Structure 1
Amino acid sequence: MDLARKAVDGSSPDTGRRTLLAPADGGKPRRELLQHAAAFAFLHKRVVLEKEKLSPDVVLDAHKLLLSGLTGEDGLAVPAGQYRTTRAFAGSYLFPPPEAVEGALKRLLEAYEQRASSPEEDPFALAAWLSYVFVSIHPFDDGNGRMGRLLLNMALLSRGVPFCSALGFSCGQSKAKRHYLQCLKKGRPSELAFTVLCSIRITLANFFEDLRTTYPAVELAAESTA
């Protein structure tokens, strides 16, 4: 498994992050990072900015941008933008059979659109639920975790949350990453929502600390008007 996938899907985040940000040869890790950014930019433009409904076609197009031209651990090309055609399992848990994937994803996205239309819906609970059920369906041969986190952040931005949640996969929040994986494994979307909230809180705190350190005049101005 290459360092880019480790960084995004849950292993060796520190080493993977350094390699992703400054790969020595500008090869596959850089390409995966750029495609990850392109997939998120696509979702942000179509769903957040243009208010298009999150449909199976949008998800398939995002997955194609995310994984097009990449290879799996077996050295074979990853089927980008295509539904899973084989059985899949994690430990003793068996994901839905391939013939049920398309229908399950369609129902999930319809339910998401219905919940997202309610102003009373909590953004963190909604985003965590969408990501959790998506990963539980496991619609693709590869990239389900990455797509699930892209959808999670898309849902947060759609509800006005100003920052994305890295969940420890690229920002050094190892505890957040561990909690995220435990929530998925144990089937606890409500706990996942809390983990996402904590991750956003840390991101906000870091942002304002960086702002205070980089632009001390901003802090002085705030104190003078208090």
Structure 2
Amino acid sequence: MKTLLKNAREQKGLKTREVAQILGIDQALISKFEKGSRKPTKDQVIKLASLLEIDFETLMVAWLKEKILYEIGQDDFALKAMNLVREEVENSCVAVKNTLSKNLLSILNEIDTLKAKLDQFRQFDSYRIDHALELEYTFESNRIEGNTMTLRETDLVINEGLTISGKSMREHLEVINHHEAIVNIKHLMDKNTTLNDREVLSIHNLILRGINPEDAGRYRRVQVMIKGSSFMPPQPFLVSKEMEDYFIWYETNKNALHPIVLAAELHERLVTIHPFIDGNGRTSRLVMNLILLQNGYVIANIKGDYDSRMQYYNALETAQTKNNKEDFLLFIAQTEKESLERYLEIIGQ
């Protein structure tokens, strides 16, 4: 592990002092981590993996191996204990899967079947198809938030650079910004960039660019309320800690959950923290779709018509106020299933 950390830091061109300053860790500790004389905490491992762009699983496995060896040493019962631990870990993974409802598991199985079929016909993917579906996604995601641009007007703004008479400057910027945010998440997908604080702030910065420059790419510093909801987001002084926990949760669960569940959870958790003054919904949906694209799925395009919007909001409200995410997970899974079906239909499969 010590070699991993030192090599990654040097490849990034960072000094131990700079790493310590960015992460808020004492410089002496960074040096000790690299020499192997001190073991970082789990939270520190997560932060180091993100900053130094080390594969989280690789670093975590190395950290756990050293931690286990340090604890058990050469004890005669070590191997027997390790076998028992393995059994318990495997059982806990099964338990996580068993917490999903039969309805959700059924839809996830259908989604996996559709994705397997799509994987066989990836050669039929085309820029034109992707571009058209991304255009629809921009239209629907903005419509959810009250943008009155039609699909055709959205197309004219993005592809023709036209100004639509009777539409506000904000509505034009929302269309342009969302389109560029999609380009950004596809770039992150191609690079296989892990989800972290920097990338979420970057997505949000694109969403509010030119609309609210002071708050674009920054966590809120005031209390907010969600229009039409009884849920009260956390106080502003808690946002940074909530977001830190958000990324820790992601790193801990990204390989344990079905990608659809992971994407939906990240959406719900982010919009529940409501870390921004504005643009929380669009940013949360983009984060969700980044996870889906990284795992080989297609964009889950939540419709902006009244019935779909109300079903979406009600499912979120239930998750936030009743601590019951079933409706929301089902809603996202069903949306992805329909998106996959439509994609296969378009390519003639």
Q: TM-score, length-normalised on structure 2? A: 0.51
Equivalent position of 1:180 in the other structure: 312
Equivalent position of 2:197 in the other structure: 56
Structure 1 pair 95–37 and aligned structure 2 pair: CA distance change class (3 A): same
Match of 2:210, SS state, is coil
Q: Mean alpha-carbon deviation: is it higher for 109-118 or for 7-16?
A: 7-16
Larger Rg, first or second structure (1 or 2): 2
1:42 paired to 2:177 = no
Q: Mean alpha-carbon deviation: is it higher for 85-94 or for 141-150?
A: 85-94
1:67 paired to 2:208 = yes
Match of 2:347, SS state, is helix
Out of 144, 148, 152, which is 2:288 matched to? Answer: 152
- CA shift, 1:7, in A, is 5.6
The number of residue pairs the alignment matches comes to: 198
- The amino acid across from 2:261 in the alignment is A
Q: TM-score, length-normalised on structure 1? A: 0.76
Structure 1 pair 160–208 and aligned structure 2 pair: CA distance change class (3 A): closer
Which whole-Å CA distance do the structure 1 matches of 2:197 and 2:177 have between them? 19
Q: Percent identity?
A: 23
Which whole-Å CA distance do the structure 2 matches of 1:12 and 1:127 have between them? 24
Which whole-Å CA distance do the structure 2 matches of 1:12 and 1:84 have between them? 21
Q: Is the 8 A contact 2:318 2:327 kept in 1?
A: no
Which whole-Å CA distance do the structure 2 matches of 1:6 and 1:49 have between them? 24
Structure 1 pair 152–8 and aligned structure 2 pair: CA distance change class (3 A): same
| Map 1:126-205 → 2, pairs under 5 A | 126-161=262-297, 163-169=298-304, 175-187=307-319, 188-205=324-341
Q: Is the 8 A contact 1:9 1:146 kept in 2?
A: no
Equivalent position of 1:21 in the other structure: 155
Q: Is the 8 A contact 1:6 1:16 kept in 2?
A: no
Equivalent position of 2:235 in the other structure: 97
- The amino acid across from 1:179 in the alignment is Q
Q: Is the 8 A contact 1:9 1:145 kept in 2?
A: no
Name the structure with the higher helix share. Answer: 2
Which whole-Å CA distance do the structure 2 matches of 1:59 and 1:53 have between them? 10
- The amino acid across from 1:69 in the alignment is G
Out of 194, 207, 215, which is 1:79 matched to? Answer: 215
Q: Is the 8 A contact 1:19 1:29 kept in 2?
A: no
Match of 1:22, SS state, is helix
Equivalent position of 1:208 in the other structure: 344
Q: Is the 8 A contact 1:78 1:141 kept in 2?
A: no
Out of 161, 171, 175, which is 1:33 matched to? Answer: 175
**Mind listing any 5+ residue stretches in structure 1 that lack a counterpart?**
72-76, 213-218, 220-226
CA-atom RMSD, angstroms? 2.7
Which whole-Å CA distance do the structure 2 matches of 1:106 and 1:198 have between them? 30
Q: Mean alpha-carbon deviation: is it higher for 49-58 or for 146-155?
A: 49-58
